[in-house]
Structure 1
Amino acid sequence: MTQWLRSIALWLLAPVAVAAASADVQPAGAPDTMAERVKACIVCHTTADKAGRDAYYPRIAGKPEGYLFNQLRNFRDGRRHYRPMKLLLENLPDAYLREMARHFSALELAFPPPEPLAIPPEEADLARTLILRGDPARDIPACTACHGADLMGTAPFIPGLLGLPRVYLLAQFGNWRNGGLMRGQAHDCMSEIAGRLAPRETDALAAWLAARPGTTARPADAAAALPAELARRCGSIVLQSAGPQ
């Protein structure tokens, strides 16, 4: 483990009972708050999206609590692959991951300016159709059906799609389509949807979404209105492992 990763791990593990041996390295007088404990996280996940040497670090502030909890568990348990995240989270229990998710979900959102819409009008129309109506003939639902009418997410476990760079959205489509890099506890609908979309369609969707400004609206709490099967797939860890709020 590199020196910086070891240092970050000690910050994360210090407050956890299973890592009591690490607690001795916590700076004297440091407040015992979640904001203090997650300082290791904001080394990479700041108030703006950031590209590193080997990864892209999205903003996580304001995303739905259940979504963040699912992703933390996915990294820890090997359903989502990025070795530094796995090393940092491998000894943390579910209850602590839930506290971390709750902390970041309560933070205010900060959005960069939207990107220019650099695609032809017919490509923009294609993206708008898929986002608002989907393609029933190919069993592709509208993006708004899951991610909310304003595309800002559906609490507690479906993230928003606005305020994200085009290259990040394209990478996520690729991860879902190729399999193995991102998967949930239950079989994921996003892997199926991404597999049905042509590269031209994902290019158009990423460009269109990146050109839309994010809003200050919190994710809509409409999970109860989702079809039962969708809720099971997207919220499997939250609903089955974490129990009620």
Structure 2
Amino acid sequence: MEARVAACIGCHGKAGRGVANVYFPRLAGKPAGYLYHQLLAFRDGRRKYVPMNYLLAYLPDAYLYKMAQYFAAQDPGAFPQAAPAPSGQALEAGRRIATGGIPERGVPACASCHGDELAGREPGIPGLLGLRADYLSAQLGAWRYGVRTALAPDCMQLVAARLDEAEVAAVSAWLASRPVTRTRPTPRTGRALPLPCGGQDAPLPVPRP
């Protein structure tokens, strides 16, 4: 599999540990279920980036799942240092959204889905720390405008659509400023998510011997 995913290294780094480019995220150590459904989304056009759409166009589900399992099993290595803090006011606004949400608008806290340490949750929710603010903001914007979609019910599209641009910038900046305290997603628990989320509940391929 290492040879088969060699095409991924140029953008995502050796073993998927990430590169300096702000828009090519780390793959190593993320939940296999999350990575698998992102590969499906690129292949099926629900997530649009031409090189990824092209590379994955003819790959079957089982093959994509093996790719996801490979990257999920990799050691994520060192995470980038916390970004310099923006203005105190913006940082505080982002902290409030990430840790408390905006209840009056139906926006849950990021931590309620992505885990108390924001490291992600098995099988399908990624961590949010160790990512640059520009990348986080771009992904939230893609959900807001329908450029990025997930399996129904698309909980992130609902959440992102309820945030304005200033709130997207604030929460992205706060998340990017936080140190990484946990490098692996937390195991799945019985704790319910605040919103139905197709990506967390969708079935995964049955491994073959």
Same fold (TM > 0.5): yes
1:197 is matched by which residue type in structure 2?
L
CA distance in 2, matches of 1:217, 1:84: 28
CA distance in 1, matches of 2:10, 2:184: 24
1:48 is matched by which residue type in structure 2?
G
Query: Is the radius of gyration larger for structure 1 or structure 2?
Result: 1
Structure 1 residues 182 and 216: CA distance shift in structure 2, 3 A: same
Tell me by how many angstroms 1:185 deviates: 2.4
1:117 aligns with 2:80: no
The equivalent residue for 2:104 is 137
1:103 aligns with 2:70: yes
1:75 is matched by which residue type in structure 2?
F
Tell me by how many angstroms 1:223 deviates: 5.0
How does 1:146-225 map onto structure 2 within 5 Å?
146-179=113-146, 181-222=147-188, 224-225=190-191
Tell whether the 8 Å contact from 2:11 to 2:24 is kept in structure 1 after alignment.
Answer: yes
Look up the SS of the partner of 2:39 in the other structure.
helix
TM-score normalised over the length of structure 2: 0.90
Between the two structures, name the one with larger relative contact order (CA 8 Å, sep ≥ 6): 2
Give the structure with the larger helix fraction: 1
CA distance in 2, matches of 1:67, 1:138: 26
- Out of 82-91 and 95-104, give the one that drifted further: 82-91
The equivalent residue for 2:56 is 89
List alignment gaps of at least 5 residues for structure 2: none
The equivalent residue for 1:57 is 24
Tell whether the 8 Å contact from 1:160 to 1:219 is kept in structure 2 after alignment.
Answer: yes
The equivalent residue for 1:68 is 35
What per-residue deviation string (whole Å, max 9, x for no partner) do you get for residues 3-44 of structure 1?
xxxxxxxxxxxxxxxxxxxxxxxxxxxxxxx11211111121
Tell whether the 8 Å contact from 1:134 to 1:140 is kept in structure 2 after alignment.
Answer: yes
Structure 1 residues 235 and 244: CA distance shift in structure 2, 3 A: farther
CA distance in 2, matches of 1:35, 1:86: 21
Q: Percent identity?
A: 45
List alignment gaps of at least 5 residues for structure 1: 1-33
Tell me by how many angstroms 1:243 deviates: 5.2
Tell me by how many angstroms 1:209 deviates: 0.7
1:235 to 200, 203, 206: 200
| Number of residue-to-residue matches in the alignment | 204
Over the aligned positions, Cα root-mean-square deviation in angstroms equals 2.0
Tell whether the 8 Å contact from 2:113 to 2:193 is kept in structure 1 after alignment.
Answer: no
1:72 is matched by which residue type in structure 2?
L
